Amino acid sequence: MSRFTDGKGRYTDSWWSSPPDSIDHVGAEYLQHGYRHPNVKTARHDKFIKRRFKEEMARLTNQ
């Protein structure tokens, strides 16, 4: 489960039942229009989600 809160306090939650091995290839349109986080509006948002996704996946897989 991920939650993204934009700079205006709006948040969305998304359940990743089968997370991808890599999020680098995922375009912003997947995050926005793929119903992951429709409030992703900028390249900064996109970069933030990808960075945090990698951090959390590393934490979860290296336990």
Say what the pLDDT of residue 13 is: 92
Contact 3/12 with Cβ under 8 angstroms?
Answer: yes
Q: Tell me which H or E stretch contains 43.
A: helix 43-61
38, two tokens: 């429709």
pLDDT band at 11 (very low <50, low <70, confident <90, very high): very high
Interatomic CA distance for residues 31 and 52, integer angstroms: 14
* Beta strand spans in 8-61 (E): 11-14
**Domain encompassing residue 47:** 2-61
pLDDT in tens, 12-61: 998 988 888 888 888 778 887 767 888 888 889 889 989 998 999 899 88
Q: Domain tally for the chain? A: 1
Taken as a whole, the chain contains a residue count of 63
DSSP letter at 63 equals -
